[in-house]
Amino acid sequence: MIVVMKVGSPEAEITRISDEFSTWGLTPEKIVGQHKVVIGLVGETALLDPRQLQEISPWIEQVLRVEKPYKRASRQFRHGEASEVVVKTPNGPVVFGEHHPIVVIAGPCSVENEEMIVETAQRVKAAGATMLRGGAYKPRTSPYAFQGHGESALELLAKAREVTGLGIITEVMDSSDLERIADVADVIQVGARNMQNFSLLKKVGAQSKPVFLKRGMSATIEEWLMAAEYILAAGNPHVILCERGIRTFDQKYTRNTLDISVVPVLRNLTHLPIAIDPSHGTGWSTYVPSMSMAAIAAGTDCLMIEVHPNPAKAMSDGPQSLTPERFDRLMQELAVMGKAVNRWQQPAIALA
């Protein structure tokens, strides 16, 4: 349920009401919106009558039932307002959200060595990306494929951060690595294969770094939002949803089917920021530019794009990785689109 407070409600009254709800066994969550304060209520609310709640204070404007199974993730829980996720980076805050410029995250699939990660970081920064991606712990289909350099790759990511000031995003696969990863990463990625690893979701929800939650390759939108709900319910409100392609009947010409329609659909259902990953979404670098454009047109808040200094030699996901040169050009192309929707703030770049 959500309790919408009248404009100008005294702070003391909001606290008093929240305390009263707590004595009823409910968990009140105060959400300060642009115009109004809303108290979200989670718990056994099914038997409560909204009119009964309304009576406890003259400052309550309205009491509404949240019908969706995901409560905290629902748009209604914030009375229709979008949330923003602010990521602190050495270069300043990077803000993900509907009313902010599009955030571009770029970098290789895997961190391979110091030279390649630092060079890629410098190149994507020069092109206008504000966050660097790079896998240290890699989820691979084959146990014989490159599994990532693990802890030593985290050190290299820290180095790239130090040199460029870019924020770092990297994946956690096992909760025993979480603390180590959270020490280096500005955003923690939960990959498609772990989207419903509920114990991992609870653990990333119990720490404070923002979480980039990729959609499971066969997950429905509702399952995905319920996965986000796990993180929110565990106490971490900083969640970004990332569409990365789903499994459909035709996987011959693309690795996955990028579900672009998810952007407007999620916009209606949730207040959380939305990202699109056209690299895993298509599996082929030639399709990444057009799908990036499409994602911007659809209203994405963020793009995650794989870039590798030498895709032919990449240890993972080479076929879908752009060269730094192609990424430079793509950023110029995207700037036209981004400006058209009034959501572009990346620094201009000069083509060599």
- Give the 3-state secondary structure of 70-133: CCCCEHHHHCCCCCCEEEEECCEEEEECCCCCCEEEEECCECCCHHHHHHHHHHHHHHCCCEEE
The span of 29-37, 191-199, 202-210, 258-266 binding ligand PEP (CB under 6 A) equals: 191-199
Q: At closest approach, how far in Å is the CB of 194 from ligand PEP?
A: 8
Q: Please tell me whether residue 308 binds ligand PEP under the rule CB under 6 A.
A: no
Q: At closest approach, how far in Å is the CB of 146 from ligand PEP?
A: 12
Q: Please tell me whether residue 191 binds ligand PEP under the rule CB under 6 A.
A: yes
Q: At closest approach, how far in Å is the CB of 166 from Mn ion?
A: 18
Angle between helices 288-298 and 262-269 (to 10 degrees): 30
Taking the least distance from each CB to ligand PEP, the nearer of 83 and 316 is 316
Taking the least distance from each CB to ligand PEP, the nearer of 73 and 192 is 192
Yes or no: say if 311 and 288 are a contact pair by the CB < 8 Å rule.
Answer: no
Residues 58 and 12: their CA atoms lie apart, in Å, by 13
Paired residues of 37 in beta bridges: 32
Residues 11 and 27: their CA atoms lie apart, in Å, by 18
Torsion region of 38: left, alpha or beta (phi above 0 gives left; psi -120 to 50 gives alpha): beta
Q: Please tell me whether residue 338 binds ligand PEP under the rule CB under 6 A.
A: no
Q: Please tell me whether residue 280 binds ligand PEP under the rule CB under 6 A.
A: yes
Q: At closest approach, how far in Å is the CB of 110 from ligand PEP?
A: 8
Q: Looking up tokens 């996901």, which residue turns up?
A: 317
Torsion region of 129: left, alpha or beta (phi above 0 gives left; psi -120 to 50 gives alpha): beta
Q: Please tell me whether residue 139 binds ligand PEP under the rule CB under 6 A.
A: yes
Yes or no: say if 151 and 187 are a contact pair by the CB < 8 Å rule.
Answer: no
Out of 100, 203, 244, 343, the only residue in the binding site for ligand PEP (CB under 6 A) is: 244
Out of 192, 219, 246, 322, the only residue in the binding site for ligand PEP (CB under 6 A) is: 192
Residues 216 and 194: their CA atoms lie apart, in Å, by 7
Q: Which does 123 bind (CB under 5 to 8 A by kind): ligand PEP, Mn ion, none?
A: none
Out of 135, 205, 273, 289, the only residue in the binding site for ligand PEP (CB under 6 A) is: 135
Q: Please tell me whether residue 317 binds Mn ion under the rule CB under 5 A.
A: yes
The set of residues, in sequence order, having a beta carbon less than 8 Å from that of 58 and lying 6+ positions away, is none
Rounded to 10 degrees, what is the CA torsion of 194, 199, 200, 201? 90
The span of 47-55, 113-121, 186-194, 294-302 binding ligand PEP (CB under 6 A) equals: 186-194
Q: At closest approach, how far in Å is the CB of 270 from ligand PEP?
A: 19
Contacts to Mn ion from residues 80-109, by CB under 5 A: 109
| Positions in the binding site for Mn ion (CB under 5 A) | 109, 317
| Positions in the binding site for ligand PEP (CB under 6 A) | 109, 135, 139, 191-193, 214, 244, 280
